[in-house]
Amino acid sequence: MLQDGFAHNPRTLLHIAPYLRSRSVLPSDIFKRAGVSPSMLLNGNGWVPRDLCFTLGSELYAATGERFPGADVGRMFKLTDLGTWGRAICGARTVREACETAVNGIGLIHQGTDLRFEAGEEHAVLSLSFAGRTTSDPQQHVLGALAVLRGIALLAGVPDAVSAQFVQPYQRAGERLEETFGPSLAFACDRDGIVIDRSILDFPLPSSDRVAQAGDPAETAERLGGLVTELLPYGGVSIDGVARLLHLSRRTLQRRLRDFGFAFEELVDDVRRVEAIRRVALGEESAIEIAFMLGYSDQAHFSRAFRRWTGLSPREYARRA
């Protein structure tokens, strides 16, 4: 049975757009093919269905021709990119405590992920698996998640004491994984995980690793989505006006939007789409009231936009909701 409740926080997709641009691939095309909308990416408190995340990983593979794009994207992450979860890990005093913090807080970024930390006589393993069944190949997402987990072990600053194990058997070009995970790799294992030499588990971590990242792009994105929703009833939502409210320059805001793979106009249209569908489905407001709340000058313009989004008029959609 497929599990609709399995999902990942949008922060886990943060570096996909910059990665695609570095390969001369237009991010918005890939997100659209995978079914991931701007509203999903910009809702820091929301969730992206897990199957869409896995589909996005497969699209990365198809679009770039790279064998392991998930590993390359995962390597781009700082732990602090992952919000409260990452900052809590960076505040740990030892690698052991950091791993335990990651396990205890995994629900902040993943729903339906089994993350375990098991310490043996010589090694400890920080491993993960995904609960339930899926219609999409999770391989690229597994590699990205493992690259992030490796960053936890690397807080100790001893890369030679960190290796990786994979459920997948060795495959062609498998040595390319060494660029992300180092030279010590094991394949056809019971679980995917990061293997940590027990000798570094209780190393005191340097305090510099606990400094939170300033200018969190995901937090900017979350505020941006909320501002656009609030401003819609007041007419034209401009990038200059929103940038001023965020205390950013127009250029900085455009750059941060590019990091998510969408233009400002696409974001505004998608926020309207999500709000329109939600309000029509609730059935508590008339079409003209919804049109006003979304910044349309009249009901006709709203109805045309709604049909473009859903293939139905607001009245037809409400009947089926």
Going by CATH, does the domain composed of 217-320 fall within 1.10.10.60? yes
Fold of 7-210: H-NOX domain (3.90.1520)
Query: What's residue 214's pLDDT?
Result: 45
d(CA 140, CA 68): 7
Ranges of each domain in the chain: 7-210, 217-320
pLDDT tens by residue, the chain, 321 residues = 334 579 999 999 989 999 999 999 999 899 989 999 888 887 767 899 999 999 999 999 999 999 999 999 999 999 999 988 998 999 899 999 999 999 999 999 999 999 999 999 999 999 999 988 888 899 999 999 999 999 999 999 999 999 999 999 987 777 889 999 999 999 999 999 999 999 999 989 986 434 444 456 666 776 787 788 888 876 678 888 888 888 788 998 888 888 777 888 888 888 889 889 999 999 989 999 999 888 888 899 999 999 999 999 999 999 887
Q: In what order do the strands lie in the sheet with 123-130?
A: 113-119, 123-130, 192-197, 162-165, 185-186
Query: What's residue 48's pLDDT?
Result: 93
- Model's pTM, two decimal places? 0.78
